[in-house]
Structure 1
Amino acid sequence: MRKLFWRIFAIVWLTMAISIALLFAISSVFGLLPPVQELRDQRTSLAIETATRLLATNGVDATQQFLSAVAQTPSPVHLNLTAIGGPMECSIKAIGKFERHVVNAGHCFQLSAEATEMDFLSRNLPKLVPWTSAMFAAAFAAYWLAQYLTRPVEQLKRGLRALAQGQFDVRIGNKIDRKRDEIAALAHDFDVTAARLQEFQDVQQGLFHDISHELRSPLSRLQAAIGLLKKNPSRLDAMTERLEREIARMDDLVGEVLTLARLTATETPPLEQQTLDLVDLLREIVDDCAFEGAARNVCVVYNGAESFVTSLNGELIYRAIENVVRNAVKYSPSNARVIVNTEREYEAFVITVADQGPGIPKDILDVIFQPFRRGSILSTGVVGFGLGLAITKHAFARHGGQVQAELPSEGGLLMRMSLPA
């Protein structure tokens, strides 16, 4: 990460430095910078001219005071006043660039400036100071910008390393002090991903626990039955039915787990679909469930469309809807009604299954679609693996539909299943 930091620092600093250098170069070429030597020569010429007029009119003492004053200014000019003889001397002496001869009180005085040629440093110091200051400012800005850009990347790197080590509870959004920029959005997406991975891990661990628990019970009963047979082989005929029942139960569990695994896999082949009438499937399911509910006088009634022809995986959708209707029959009390209704809503074909059972608490409406969340939460004594509704939800999702549970005001539970029309 330090390589990225120094790379960003170098790019930003060099860019700013080159820009500043070009600015000063252009300013020098086109004379935009102040001419230091020329300004100093102008100050010297002005001081000599002023001293010349002052000597001619006010005398030596006033001129000496003026020379002392200009020598003590922030930009001092050093002038010398020297008596060189009589008036004739003023007429025969050569006069230089910064030299004047003045006659006062019968004497010739020479006003001259000390050498004003500036060395390289003095001439260029006014240029070097802003240049150096700008370079330091650019370095500071580049350092701050590099820190600003690489700090969240470092946090993201640490978070990804933690995820790779299985620490799915890691979060970085609270460590990046930004509100609305793209890096904050990236940190939010990272936290969402970590939360989903943690959820998947919890679900996976829960599935392992639940599957092992579901298998342990029939296996324990099988072991007990085998133990009884060893002690009393004459009971073979009586125990055979029990053994077959437990084996069938394990076979059903394995079959449902495999079905759910296929539906929830990230990479699955497209579903094999057939063109069929969904209403015909519904009527068949209603007839089968009505036959099962007849023993407790539970009536299953179908209302709705006469036909809905579409392309879908008939076996999968049949099983998904059957899970819902069978649950409604199981959890309904004796002498109750289960109503299966269909209708078109916008661009969807909606199937609703309403029962007169005890319903469920509102806070677990979504929980019942998770694997192994069986009907025992309803305190009805109905047994099951708790995989049926999970299979139903994923089966409809694979067809572009959805499944929802609702609590009608009149009681019971209403399951709403929809498919694209």
Structure 2
Amino acid sequence: MTRGPIALSLFWRTFILLALLLAGGIFAWVQTLRALEFEPRAVQAAQEIASLVNLSRAALRYSDPIDRVAVVKTMSDQEAIKVLPREPGDTWEPFAVDRFTRRVGNELRSRLDQYSILARSVNGQPGLWVGFTIENDPYWLQAEPTRIQTLTPGTWFVWVGIALGATLLGSVAIARLINRPLQELSFAASRIREGEFDSRLDEDTMTHEIRQVNMGFNRMARELAKIEEDRAVMLAGISHDLRTPLARLRLEAEMSVDDEEARRNMASDIDQLDAIIDKFMDYARPGETRLEPVALAALVEREIAALREPAEIRIESKLAIDLMVLADETELGRVFGNLFENARRYARDADTGIARVEVGYTREGPWVVVSVRDHGPGVPPARLSQLTTPFYRGDTARTAATGAGLGLAIVDKSMQRMGGTLELGNAVDGGLVARLRLRRVP
């Protein structure tokens, strides 16, 4: 079984895209700033070290031998700089180990002289060591290595972390701001779908496009409310306007037609017209439902007893007495009545003329799945999805259909009103199975 792609809500999609965009911008700026600050920092570090060396050289050059010791001691105490004689046996490690230190070394040599030595350690003592000469006497100047260090990874991490945190907060705020009008539109549309036409959206919003959409939606809601009102008025008059002449026809047939068979056929046709009117009324009635706990077994027994032609159908119910579902009792009764009538019409045995129906159930978590299975010829799999289409009749091999083609369409629509689902399929050993998924009452 293949699964479709995971669908993200608009909020999360907007948030992720904004976060990626802003995070990419932050990293691009970090790389740009590192590249731009590389050269100035290297030059500044070289200038600072060169100034220390030149000042130290001048202080020692113009001091007499007796005062040189005091000058060196003062420099060491106040500036953390040591000046030591350079011995021929000193061992040292080169200072240049990466691109930045090589650039600092080149800049220092250009500001001092070509014979200057830069080292990261001398005789095993780490530090920033600069070798220079005063009147042909070699010296070492030891300074703190922090004077020429670049920004540490920890500093970059703190800066980038703060920027990313601000980016995420900003993305949440922007995504929520963008998504709010669409959430309101989605909620209002869901209420319209449920038959509540009093939803109104803000027509004074600052965004021109959203304002136009909201105005169009409100106009559509008003038109739908008017159509619903007109439909209610029309449905109220259908029963009287159509059933009154049918009643007169039945009375005239009983009084004026002498032939018993003709009178019986006319009465059957009138009953069929009356049943078709009931189907149209059921399908076109408003979608308001009142969900409450319903005793399923008692409701099914009541619908079995109300069948018009009980001699043509036999129904075996295997429902538990205490089984309760959350549904509209009238709608659910209409569902089972249409399923039983559909089986009576289309699933009768060719030899006995009787339709056999079995009603069972299973529990699936918070749901109850009720199965209504007949033992008729079934329906070709390619046509199962069309059975709930209004005015569609199944394969003519099942029967010579005389209904309006609305029975299963009414069942499907009623199940949707109650928050359930209808699934149609063929049983393994023949016959049509209708599976009704209803919410179970704990």
- Please say which structure displays the higher CA radius of gyration: 1
TM-score, normalization by structure 1: 0.42
TM-score, normalization by structure 2: 0.40
